[in-house]
Amino acid sequence: MALLKVLLLLGLGVSVNSAVSLQKRIIGGHDCADTERQYHVRLEGSNGTHMSLCGGSLIHPNWILTTDTCWKSETGWINVAKIDVHQGPGRWRAFRLRNNPVVYNPEGWRHDIMLLKIKKVANAPLGQLPDCSYRLKIGDTVQLAGEGATTTGPNNEQISNFAPATHLQCVDMPVVEASHFLPTYGRVFSAKARNKDVCYGDAGSAAVFNGKIYGVISPGVPRYACESAASIVDVCEYMEWIRARTGLK
Ligand SMILES: *[C@@H]1O[C@H](CO)[C@@H](O)[C@H](O)[C@H]1NC(C)=O
C-alpha cells in the first residue's frame, strides 16, 4: 500500500508538471459564475524552471483545504496561495506558504486531504463546510471546478510560461459511487459524466453540493486521470479532524 502511494506520488509529480503544458483541465465545463466559488484558492508551486498548479478552498481566514499532493516539499520549490483569484484579473492576493502542511495520516500514510495554514487573510470570502446530516448519494449532482492549464507545448513538452485557464471552470457531474474507503486515497466518493471530467490542475478544488464543500478533488491515478470517474475526498469523513485543527465549529 505504501509502495503504491509512492508510485502514485512519483507519477503525479510528472503529471502535475505536464499539467502546465497539456490541454488538461476541467473538461466539458463552463465559466463559473462570478458570484460563486469566491473562496477558490489557486495553489502554485515553482522552482524556477517548473510550475505546478492546484486548487484549494479558503475555509477559515487562516486555513486552506486542499488535497495532499498540492504541496511541493522538494528543495528549491516555493509554494504560493493566491486568494481572490476568482474576483477578476489582477484582484488576487498572493501569500507565500511557509508552514508545513497539516496532513491526515493516523494510519501512517497520507489520505488525499490536507490543510495549509496561511497568514490571516482579511475580508476574504470563506467556503462553507458541509452539512453532514445529509450524506451524498448516487445520483446527487456535485459541481466540480478548477483552473487546469490551457496552454499546450508541442509533444507534451513542458513549458515554463505558465497559463492557468483564463476563467475558473465549473462542471456538474453526478455522483456514481457513494462514500467508500479507497486504499492510499482515503474516504472518497466518485463522480462521472460523459464528456466531462477533471484533470491534473484541478486537484484540491472543492466539490460543491447545495453551496457547501462536500468534497476535495483527489489527484487520482495519474495514468487514468481525465479518463475515468473522478475520485473526490469525502469531507464529511474528516470533519472532526478539520474542526480540531482549524478551530472551526
Ligand atoms: C525543477 O523541478 C524539475 C522537476 O522536478 C526538475 O527537473 C528541474 O531541474 C528543477 N529545476 C531547478 C532549477 O531546480
- Structure confidence at residue 92 (pLDDT): 85
Q: Which atom of ligand 1 is nearest to the CA of 50?
A: 1
CA-nearest residue for atom 4, ligand 1, is 50
CA distance 74 to 116: 17
Best probe residue, ligand 1, of 50, 51, 72, 162 (max atoms within 8 Å of C-beta): 50
Q: Rounded to the nearest 10 degrees, how much is the dihedral formed by the CA atoms of 130, 131, 135, 136?
A: -50
Ligand 1 atom 11: the closest Cα is on which residue?
49
| Residue 176, burial from CB neighbour count under 10 angstroms (0-12, 13-18, 19+) | middle
| Exposed e or buried b per residue across 41-52, where buried means at least 16 C-beta atoms within 10 angstroms of its C-beta | bbbbbbeeebbb
Q: Which atom of ligand 1 is nearest to the CA of 17?
A: 4
Atom of ligand 1 at shortest range from CA of 47: 1
Which atom of ligand 1 approaches the CA of 48 most closely? Answer: 13
Ligand 1: distance of its center to the CA of 49 in Å? 6
pLDDT at 149: 53
Question: What strands lie across the sheet with 102-103, from one edge to the other?
Answer: 93-96, 78-83, 40-46, 51-60, 63-66, 114-117, 102-103
Strand 114-117, strand 186-191: pairing: unpaired
Residues of the chain with pLDDT under 50: 1-24, 150-153, 155-161, 222-225
| 8 Å CB contact between 76 and 57 | no
**Distance (Å, whole) CA 98 – CA 117:** 8
pTM as predicted: 0.85
